[in-house]
Copies of this chain bind each other. A is one copy, B any other.
Amino acid sequence: MSDQLKLDTFICFAVYTASHAFNRVYKPLLDKLGLTYPQYLAMVCLWEEDSQTVGGLGEKLFLESSTLTPLLKRLETAGYIRRERSRQDERVVVLHLTEEGKRLKEKAETVPGCIIDASGRDADQLVRLQAEIVALREALNKSAS
């Protein structure tokens, strides 16, 4: 059916544009921290658990090393992390938060609240919607693998 090719009915398009919309809301908040959105995600990941590997971060963020390596180099240049080859396995690069990187967490604490406010939804709605989108993501990833 030709009717299938309607942009406004594509859930993928909704997700694609929502992702951009989130970015626009995050931008002014993250500018104050000197981070881009993907950099912020990497920092959140390290705040949760310091000294992760590039590969470990990639699995959690669903990103390739070809994306992460340059991004992490920028975070290192910014002074937020250190990148060190593992002694046990020289192939692996371990990421450590610097003191400045740890301090940045305090300044980032207010960000999630701003995003929730901008979403115009209450916590329950967001939790439910988030779970549905994660389930969708899992189905897509399974299908693509």
Contact = CB atoms under 8 A, between A and B. Distances in A.
Contacts of A93: none
Contacts of A92: none
Contacts of A44: 5-7, 10
Chain A, interface SS category? helix
Interface residues of A, number: 58
Given A11-B129, A20-B62, A118-B140, 14 more contacts: A5-B48, A6-B48, A7-B48, A9-B127, A10-B44, A12-B22, A13-B41, A14-B130, A16-B19, A18-B133, A21-B136, A119-B140, A119-B143, A120-B142
B112 A10 contact: yes
A105 interface: yes
Copies of this chain, complex-wide, total 2
A139 B118 contact: yes
